[in-house]
Structure 1
Amino acid sequence: MSYFTIVALMVFLAIAVGTSLGDPGVPPRCQCIKKESRPIGRHIEKVEVIPASSDCSETEIIATLKKDGRKTCLDPEAPWVQRVLQKLFKRTR
């Protein structure tokens, strides 16, 4: 399955969409400026996929970390991120 198909299916399977990391009073825009490409898979508690929209032309993947609840943007092109998404997709079936 291609990356795009996996992301699209996850979105349709009720993955949280459109949640803003910033203030509610700030106009919507891309939330991910820097993206983590180093493997941090075992530290991830939750993954949120935000599809491309009129506010942001890129699909954004935001991970919540187990240890401190901090949110980190993941590089959707990194092979390890694609594997994490595939595992999550298999769990939601």
Structure 2
Amino acid sequence: WLGAHPPDGPLTESALSAGAPVVTELRCHCLQTVQGIHFKNIQNVKVTAPGPHCGQTEVVATLKNGQEACLNPAAPMVKKIVDKMLNKGSSS
């Protein structure tokens, strides 16, 4: 029975508890994505490039109602939304 149970949490937790600084979670935030959300419902968009935490680009939209939605970065509508949000932010 001793070896039958997996250790508590992912293996990265024990490595992180050794004193290494924790910057972000060491996994992808987006497990599922939606193809697009109407631009008027989006308050903010955060694009995270691939890195050691996740091997894919992640696009997380914060909606005006406070919810977050993961968008498919390859979807044409999502690319338009990201471009609009970037242009909106740089014009202010």
TM-score over 0.5 for the pair: yes
Higher relative contact order (CA 8 A, sep 6+): 1
For the aligned residue pairs, the C-alpha RMSD in angstroms reads: 1.9
- Length, aligned pairs only: 68
Q: What is the identity percentage for the equivalent residue pairs of Structure 1 and Structure 2?
A: 31
The letter for the 2-side match of 1:32 is C
Structure 1 segments of 4+ aligned residues over 4 angstroms from their partners? none
Match of 2:80 among 80, 83, 93: 83
Return closer, same or farther for 1:40/1:27 CA change in 2, 3 Å cut-off: same
Q: Which runs of 5+ in 2 are unaligned?
A: 1-21
**TM-score normalised by length of structure 2:** 0.64
Task: Please give the per-residue CA displacement for 1:48-82, whole angstroms capped at 9, x wherever unaligned.
Answer: 11110011010100011102x01110001111110
**TM-score normalised by length of structure 1:** 0.64
Q: Which runs of 5+ in 1 are unaligned?
A: 1-23
